[in-house]
Amino acid sequence: MEKSFQENNLSGLGMGTWGIGEAIKGYDRSQIFLISKFYPYHASPELERQSLENSLKRLGTDYLDLYLLHWRGDKRLSETVRGLKELQKEGLIRHWGVSNFDVADLEELFSVPGGKDCFANEDLYNLSERGVEYDVLPWQEKHGVSFIGYSPFNSGKGDSIRITNNLKIVARAHNVTPHQIMLAWTMRNGNVLSIPKAGTVKHMKENIAAQNIKLTSDEIKLIDNDFPQPTEKTPLAMI
Ligand SMILES: NC(=O)c1ccc[n+]([C@@H]2O[C@H](COP(=O)([O-])OP(=O)(O)OC[C@H]3O[C@@H](n4cnc5c(N)ncnc54)[C@H](OP(=O)(O)O)[C@@H]3O)[C@@H](O)[C@H]2O)c1
């Protein structure tokens, strides 16, 4: 019998690809959005194909929903995109995208044949790292490229983002934890897909519930007092 993936959501549990393959067995594949990345030194048509085939084998599936270049390397973007378009044409990937790209990288990507078909860019985004709000997010919105924000808790063991009094006040008002507020904050405008990693079912449940927290404009202002918006261009932050 087919299991409901929503009832048993295992995404983002931080498992390796073998573990994910095990976890999704028996679920309706069409209800799962599977993303994987490839390294810049594999960003040529032949190596992209090889990396993808290996990932698909480990995942026990025959296609990915999104395949991302992990960060900018020294391979020509025109070749990277050519390879990705071939994989897409063959139905091995539904979409392709990039990660850790700044505006200049995205502009260069858009200048190569097929580059405008980039589906998503995945960059670091959390309360402590708001730099992308200055230019990357507006650029992506304008050009129709989805934004995936990684490490909403700044990758730490719970305290890598300062838990301020204002965060506690907002959390109390919603009867949730400050971490749930941090996560809800990244998604407050509906233009960011945030991807937390959780190693426990408790954290996973809290993170799923955070999708339903609606922050008021006063609460957003309170949070801004502790974690100010960027007012100038800063180098793209990465982990
Ligand atoms: N594209 C890139 O270059 C790039 C780079 C880095 C990361 N990523 C991706 O970003 C995702 C997140 O990665 P991450 O591990 O760096 O960062 P993260 O999600 O910011 O932080 C994970 C940490 O937060 C804790 N946590 C999770 N949910 C929590 C909750 N509800 N309350 C309190 N603590 C909670 C986890 O603890 P427990 O483990 O105990 O739950 C873990 O210590 C992953 O999918 C990763 O692949 C992408």
153 Cα–ligand 1 center, Å: 6
- 170 vs 223: CA distance, rounded Å: 8
Reported as a single tens digit per residue, the pLDDT across 43-81 is 999 999 999 999 999 999 999 999 999 999 999 999 999
Specify if 238 maps to a domain.
Answer: no
Q: What is the CATH number of the domain that holds 140?
A: 3.20.20.100
Q: Which residues line ligand 1 (CB under 6 A)?
A: 12, 70, 99-100, 122, 150-155, 157-158, 177, 179, 195-200, 203, 206-207, 239
127 Cα–ligand 1 center, Å: 14
Specify if 53 maps to a domain.
Answer: yes
Specify if 7 maps to a domain.
Answer: no
Specify if 236 maps to a domain.
Answer: no
Atom of ligand 1 nearest to the CA of 195: 11
Q: Tokens for 206, please give them.
A: 């809290």
Specify if 233 maps to a domain.
Answer: no
- 67 vs 57: CA distance, rounded Å: 15
Half-sphere CA count of 111, side-chain side, radius 13 A:
7
Please choose, from the candidates 79, 70, 76, 68, the residue with its C-alpha nearest in 3D space to the C-alpha of residue 46: 79
As for how many domains the chain has, the answer is 1
Reported as a single tens digit per residue, the pLDDT across 147-205 is 999 999 999 765 689 999 999 999 999 999 999 999 999 999 999 999 999 999 999 99
Specify if 237 maps to a domain.
Answer: no
> Mean pLDDT across the stretch 23-43?
96
Full residue range of the structural domain in which residue 161 is found? 17-226
- 163 vs 185: CA distance, rounded Å: 14
Specify if 234 maps to a domain.
Answer: no
Identity (one letter) of the amino acid at 68?
A: L
Q: Tell me the CA distances in angstroms from 33 to 30, 44, 140, 220, 230, one per residue in order.
A: 8, 24, 21, 30, 32
